[in-house]
Structure 1
Amino acid sequence: MTKVVFASLLVMSSYFGFSQNTTDASVEKSVFGIQVGLIGIWAHNELKLSNQVVLRSEIGLAGVNTANIEPLLALEPRWYYNINKRANKGKRIDGNSGNYISFRTSYRFFDSSEADKNEQNYLFFTPTWGIRRNIGNHFNYEAGIGVGLGFFNNNEKKVGYTSYLNLKIGYRF
């Protein structure tokens, strides 16, 4: 009987010993910053919803080239899926540094420069995968990619596939 008790205590002590090495890491409560991309500038805020999920809101000016710069509003729930793994390895997680999966919803306001001045609005729904890493205490970079649906509102309403590429350098306040 003493051998069974001793073996049980040995197994349980090793279990509790390993469980102390794991940390329950969390995203930050609120992250505010500005970012600059290839063509555009954005201000953003990430609000904590749970230990790994944030709601990112974004406003900015962006376009595919310098002739088509448009105001943009975006709302994006992000799941930072490797926060615990990064914390356990001793890597930085401050400023929500990690890999994420998100569902980006963005709305672009556009007034064409053509003679008939047709107003065009774009609504995009794009699942994305991306990374965010810190450079020093306040600077960071992001890279992301996704494919989704776009709804175009001009003279005739259209729905089509759209791609999303995110390459930004930013400053976190």
Structure 2
Amino acid sequence: MKTLLLFILFVLQVSIGFSKSDTIPKTSHRLFKVNVLYPGFEYEYGIGKLSTINFSTSLSFASIKEDKLNRAYFLNNILEIDFRQYYNLARRFNKRKNIKFNTADFISFNAIGIGKSIIENIDYESYSGIEFAVSWGFQRTYWYVFNVSFNAGIGYYFLENGNEGYDFLVNYKIGFLIGKRNIH
């Protein structure tokens, strides 16, 4: 009886140990997304257990008040590269929440290329530039296909006309995962 009890405890210990090692949460390696809110594409590539690089290109709408009567509207192309560090995958997993397709919170370092305006409502000199930012955000994927992401932070921009300064970054995307989804 004592031997049987020790054997059962040993089997339970081994199976619990293996189940824990098999279920360590990791980021998905390759996600291709189509954004609807700001038309564009994203490709998120896993570079570690909790890290990804996200490449994004999209069209962005902007508005600047020139004076009391006139407001300038622009449509710009944006190229963005983010290094994302997901920090709560294990906690979400332990609470039995969805973690598929990098559904978690992250801290990111962003490099954003801003193109000249494609369409504008008045004759206004627009400039291309680059912005470097640090942000916090979250990403959620529902029903294996619907993707929502948000990030906000602060950045520093440089424009081709020599202007530079601090800027708040707020980015909200709604889209869909397409293609083969690889869970690492």
Post-superposition offset of 1:36: 2.8
- Whether 1:36 aligns to 2:41 is no
CA distance in 2, matches of 1:149, 1:141: 25
List per-residue Cα deviations over 1:126-150 (Å, max 9, x = no partner).
1010011122120021121111101
Give the corresponding residue for 2:51. Answer: 53
Post-superposition offset of 1:122: 1.7
Give the corresponding residue for 1:6. Answer: none
Amino acid in structure 1 at the alignment position of 2:134: P
| Correspondence for 1:77 among 83, 90, 96 | 83
Give the corresponding residue for 1:162. Answer: 167
Q: TM-score, normalised by structure 1?
A: 0.79
Post-superposition offset of 1:32: 0.4
Matches within 5 A, 1:3-42: 21=20, 23-37=23-37, 40-42=38-40
Are the aligned partners of 1:53 and 1:77 in contact in 2 as well (CA < 8 Å)? Answer: yes
Amino acid in structure 1 at the alignment position of 2:31: V
Q: Which runs of 5+ in 2 are unaligned?
A: 1-11, 64-71, 179-184
- Whether 1:101 aligns to 2:107 is yes
Q: Which runs of 5+ in 1 are unaligned?
A: 1-12
Give the corresponding residue for 1:5. Answer: none
CA distance in 2, matches of 1:119, 1:148: 19
Give the corresponding residue for 1:146. Answer: 153
CA distance in 2, matches of 1:52, 1:88: 16
- Whether 1:125 aligns to 2:132 is yes
Q: TM-score, normalised by structure 2?
A: 0.75
CA distance in 2, matches of 1:84, 1:29: 17
By relative contact order (CA 8 Å, sep 6+), the higher-ranking structure is 2
CA distance in 2, matches of 1:47, 1:105: 16
CA RMSD across the alignment = 2.6
